[in-house]
Amino acid sequence: MNETLDFDSLARRLDEAQMNRTDTSSLADDVDLDVDAAYAIQARLIGFREQRGEKIIGTKLGFTSKAKMAQMGVSEVIVGRLTDAMQICDGDDIDLNHFIHPKIEPEVAYRLGQDVGMGEEARDVAECVDAVATAVEIIDSRYRDFRFTYTDVVADNTSAAAFAVGAWQPLQHVDNRAVRLTVGNAEVVGSTSAILGDPARALRALGRVCRQRGIQLRAGDIILAGAATAALPLTADVARCEVAGLGDVTVKGVRA
């Protein structure tokens, strides 16, 4: 890790972009970041949010599809944190003025029934989940035009901005389920098998990255397993996501 970088000021730049809803240029234009440095910046960024009273309530995966990994030229998923300030209830309005250029994507959410733990005693994440649900994630890269490198997006808490989870369902295998997301008249369809072949594999990948990065996975945490399709722009419309057999979740973009 490059120890001479000022992680705090890089994290502050991303934090201010989010707070002021103004995009910023790629950090990679100015500094050489490796993956360790990128996770260190993300940790500071989350620290600022905690200092403002936000609570960490989960984690999210990104780049869980082969297509997205190939596009970024990487072979490892990315992990970000979810806070209570990002959570929207099923059916709620979502004020588009709070974002820079929001997009929405279909997700599968898992709930942790017990702590995963760290180090030697760490358990399999898949053994610790107790429920599953249809979810949507609102991603809002703090970088201009959603243009970023792998390390940029890790530093930017993997573009996480908001999310909503539908009604929790009993734990079940959710590979190869049809997924449909609509935003007004726009629609994308896909399958949960786009998520590393099976969203359960995303849980294994999450365990690996969290152990490596010292990210805690605790009972009650929500896990977003990664988008099953490309994201759609979130406009002032009803957005609805359905995963076959898992139910649906709806949010409504508004300009308050």
Contact set with ligand OOG (CB under 6 A): 62-64, 68, 105, 137, 139, 141, 146, 153, 158-159, 226-227
Given the complex with Mg ion, which of 139 and 217 has the nearer CB atom? 139
Burial of 139 (0-12, 13-18, 19+ CB in 10 A): buried
Query: Could you tell which of Mg ion, ligand OOG, none binds residue 63, using a CB distance below 5 to 8 A set by kind?
Result: ligand OOG
Question: Which neighbouring-strand residues pair with 242?
Answer: 180, 248
Distance CA 178, CA 32 (A): 40
Nearest alpha carbon to residue 113 among 192, 193, 168: 168
CB 187, min distance to ligand OOG, A: 18
Q: CB within 8 A of 12, min separation 6: which ones?
A: 48
Using the 8-state DSSP alphabet, how is residue 194 labeled? G
Q: Minimum distance between the CB of residue 195 and ligand OOG, rounded to whole angstroms? A: 9
Q: Give the nearest distance from C-beta 101 to ligand OOG in angstroms.
A: 10
Q: How far is CA 141 from the centre of its chain?
A: 11
The listed partner (Mg ion, ligand OOG, none) that binds 246, CB under 5 to 8 Å by sort, is: none
**Which one of Mg ion, ligand OOG, none interacts with residue 40, CB within 5 to 8 A by kind?**
none
Q: Between residues 105 and 221, which has the closer beta carbon with respect to ligand OOG?
A: 105
State the nearest-atom distance from the C-beta of 195 to Mg ion, in Å: 10
Which residue is it, tokens 């972009």?
17
Among 15, 137, 152, 221, binds Mg ion (CB under 5 A): 137
Q: How far is CA 118 from CA 72, 154, 208, in A?
A: 29, 21, 11
CB of residue 68 to ligand OOG, shortest distance in Å: 6
With binding defined as CB under 5 A, does residue 140 bind Mg ion? Answer: no
For ligand OOG, give the closer residue by CB, 21 or 123: 21
Q: Which does 153 bind (CB under 5 to 8 A by kind): ligand OOG, Mg ion, none?
A: ligand OOG
Q: 158: Cβ–Cβ under 8 A, 6 or more apart, which residues?
A: 42, 60, 62, 78, 79, 80
Nearer to ligand OOG, 11 or 135 (CB): 135
Q: Which is nearer to ligand OOG, 217 or 224 (CB)?
A: 224
Residue number of the CB atom closest to ligand OOG = 62
If the CB atoms of residues 15 and 105 are measured against ligand OOG, the closer one turns out to be 105
Q: Is 69 left (phi over 0), alpha (psi -120 to 50) or beta?
A: alpha
Judged by CB under 5 A, the residue of 27, 33, 41, 227 near Mg ion is: 227
Where b means 16+ CB within 10 Å and e means fewer, 189-205 reads ebebbbbbebbbbbbeb
Token code pair at residue 111:
């709930």
Q: Which residues bind Mg ion (CB under 5 A)?
A: 137, 227
